[in-house]
């Protein structure tokens, strides 16, 4: 269990929450610009690309929230396991319940692992899809700006 928690902690530490928040702010600012195009007639493919971008925008706070949840849960579980390990070594508490406590912690670890997997999958999805969507949105905005300059 400790090995798994160490893996979770290592992965969670690679996440830069400040940079993520800055990127969210930039995406939100771009969404505000895109809203100006909603009243215009735009090609279906461009509308699709704009929707894809909006989907990523909505996923970003979920990733941030899941990171916080996983970090918090990992820290709490780590403390509980250290306390349980200490109690077992010192022979404190009801010895006949040690296996029950370990089983309970293993069940909690499985739940945490599901949450962590969800977090990693969402993070990977946004990190993969957002740059592609950003390129398309940038293209749309550039074309729109050029079109407006010509008129």
The C-alpha atoms of residue 98 and residue 103 are separated, in whole angstroms, by: 9
The C-alpha atoms of residue 30 and residue 53 are separated, in whole angstroms, by: 10
Question: Which pLDDT value is given to residue 59?
Answer: 97
Are 134 and 53 contacting, i.e. CB atoms less than 8 angstroms apart?
yes
Low-confidence ranges of the chain (pLDDT < 70): 146-151
Question: Which pLDDT value is given to residue 22?
Answer: 96
Q: Please, what is the average pLDDT of the chain?
A: 90
E-assigned strands of 37-126? none
The string of pLDDT tens digits covering residues 123-143 is 999 999 999 999 999 999 888
């Amino acid at each position: 269990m400790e090995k798994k928690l160490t893996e979770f902690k290592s992965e969670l530490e690679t996440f830069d929450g400040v940079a993520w928040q800055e990127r969210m702010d930039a995406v939100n600012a771009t969404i505000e610009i895109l809203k100006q195009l909603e009243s215009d007639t735009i090609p279906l493919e461009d509308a699709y690309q704009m929707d894809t971008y909006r989907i990523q925008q909505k996923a970003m706070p979920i990733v941030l929230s899941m990171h916080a949840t996983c970090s918090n849960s990992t820290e709490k579980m780590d403390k509980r396991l250290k306390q349980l390990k200490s109690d077992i070594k010192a022979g404190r508490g009801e010895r006949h319940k040690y296996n029950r406590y370990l089983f309970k912690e293993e069940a909690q670890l499985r739940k945490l692992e599901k949450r962590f997997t969800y977090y990693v999958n969402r993070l990977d999805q946004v990190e993969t899809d957002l740059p592609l969507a950003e390129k398309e949105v940038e293209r749309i905005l550039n074309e729109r700006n050029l079109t407006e300059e010509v008129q």
